[in-house]
Amino acid sequence: MMLVALVAACGGSKSEKETAAPELSTAQLASIGKTLVDNSDCKTCHHPTNRIIGPSHTEVAQKYEFNDENIKMLAARIIQGGSGVWGELPMTPHPDLSQDDAEKMAIYVLSLDGEERKK
């Protein structure tokens, strides 16, 4: 009897890749987030410490507790845009950002006031 190797090309699925992602520390995530912010258009409107068109990202960090709920909330604001929290001017949406990258940006922003991340 022939045991034909049926180990054919069942190339890795996308979902497999996601679960295989290594756990990164908050500091690592914040550092990736900083790079993403630096390479995006954020600095047109945000300065780390001075209010220009948008609030400084340090002010944002001081306003919100550094926890998972606020990371998700701010990531959604970064993707969808927002208005009315800091003033009249709206923040433009960033629909091309993935939820994952937007969360890393939010982690970076929330880390700016030196607060420890909570669960």
Which one, of 96, 97, 116, lies nearest residue 33 by Cα?
Answer: 97
Of the pair 55, 111, the CB lying nearest ligand HEC is at 55
Query: Can you tell me which of 78, 104, 107, 112 binds ligand HEC, judged by CB under 6 A?
Result: 78
2 half-sphere exposure, CB direction, 13 A CA radius: 3
Cβ–Cβ < 8 Å for 92, 81: yes
Using CB under 6 A as the binding rule, whether residue 75 contacts ligand HEC is answered as no
Q: C-beta of 41: minimal distance to ligand HEC in Å?
A: 4
Token digits of residue 63: 């306003």
| Residues forming the site for ligand HEC (CB under 6 A) | 37, 40-42, 44-46, 53-55, 60, 74, 77-78, 82-87, 89-92, 94, 105, 109
